[in-house]
Amino acid sequence: MEGTDGIRKRLRLRPGRAAAGRTEKGRTAGKAEEQARPTEKQAQTAEKQVLPTERQAQAAERQARAPEKKETEKTELEKLESEGIDKRSQNLMQLIRRVHGLVENPDLEKHRQSQDYIGTILGNARDIRYREVDIGGMYGEWVSVNRAHMKKYVILHCHGGGYSTGSSVYARTLTSKLAASTSMDVLCFDYRLAPENPCPAALEDGMKAWNYLMLLGYGARDVILTGDSAGGNLALSLVLRLKQEGRILPRGMVLMSPWTDLTSSGRSFQTKADLDPVLNKAYIDKMVEAYAGDRDLKDPFVSPLYGDFGGFPPTYIQVGENEILLSDSLRLHQAFVDANVPVRLDVCPGMWHVFQMSPMKAARAAMDKNAEFIYDICR
């Protein structure tokens, strides 16, 4: 009879035999798996060969959709040119028209004085500092926040006013908001006005302000160029001139309701004529005559819309939905897209020409968007 030790010995041996059997089977399975691997590798290789084709197909599909997407966007923008206005917005436009009427004056000099008065009232803020500067005989104004702020970059602002009115003081309604929202220094300058000083006086003064910043030690890429209305025209003309002279262009541009086409050929001159509370065709024609005189209105340094925008810096355009210059911004945006310029356009619902000047929530929100764009391009 077998002893207990013998039984235990056999029991210890059995697991060993089972393990050995499993190991041998595992080796056999492993060999089979290795033999199968070339087939998997071949499949992976074949998959990799297919991927480029798939990517090419996807790229081709995106390319095919691009014109359709661009056409859809174009159609939507064209709809904005001809859309009407709701009752609530109509009441607001009437209010803005009455307020604007307080500034308007057939006497040009009194009109300019009224603008400066508005700028003094609405533009002054406790946390903003204004410093006068002489730019080669031209009045300029530094606008800064009364706190630690960014010094590396600077904003050069071109004020609006149809090239016949406006000033650095009137522009405080914008420059103070630009300085506060970006924490950057803003330089505004009083270029010579028409009809006393017609085209190209304003552009010559714009170049003087640009060169002044270069002499201070700023590089072209340290400057963000901004402009409203006629100041948007001047900002575009300034970049066209820098490009013509083969000089380095600014880091970017922010344009608010830019006046880009002095031929007044945009659709919105008809479709928004009864809505715009600030501008009308008769006023525009008067400004054109005073500034351009007998010059070709399609000269890019008169109407920048007809310029060559190849190589232009990133640009952000804001325009009101209810202004006759809406088409000037829409067509400029399309010209930039066609020239492969990085551009962003915001058509602000229910708003009017350079509404950013107003002391209202929508104006502050728009200026915050301007600041966001400037931060993005300065990273």
Token pair for 342? 């990085």
CA geometry: angle 13, 18, 20, nearest 5 deg: 95
- In this structure, the number of other CB atoms found within 10 A of the CB of residue 198 comes to 19
Q: Give the Å distances, CA to CA, from 54 to 41, 65, 248.
A: 20, 16, 41
Positions marked active-site? 229, 323
Residues with Cβ within 8 Å of 117's Cβ and at least 6 positions away in sequence, in order, are: none
* Region class of 148: left (phi > 0), else alpha (psi between -120 and 50), else beta: beta
Cis ω for the linkage preceding 200 (within 30 of 0) = yes
Contacts of residue 332, Cβ cutoff 8 Å, sequence gap at least 6:
236, 255, 258, 260, 304, 305, 317
Question: Which strands form 223-228's sheet, in the order they lie side by side?
Answer: 128-135, 138-145, 184-189, 150-158, 223-228, 252-256, 315-320, 343-348
- Give the separation between CA 120 and CA 83, rounded to whole angstroms: 36
Count CB atoms within 10 A of the CB of residue 310: 10
Specify whether the CB–CB gap between 300 and 308 falls below 8 A: yes
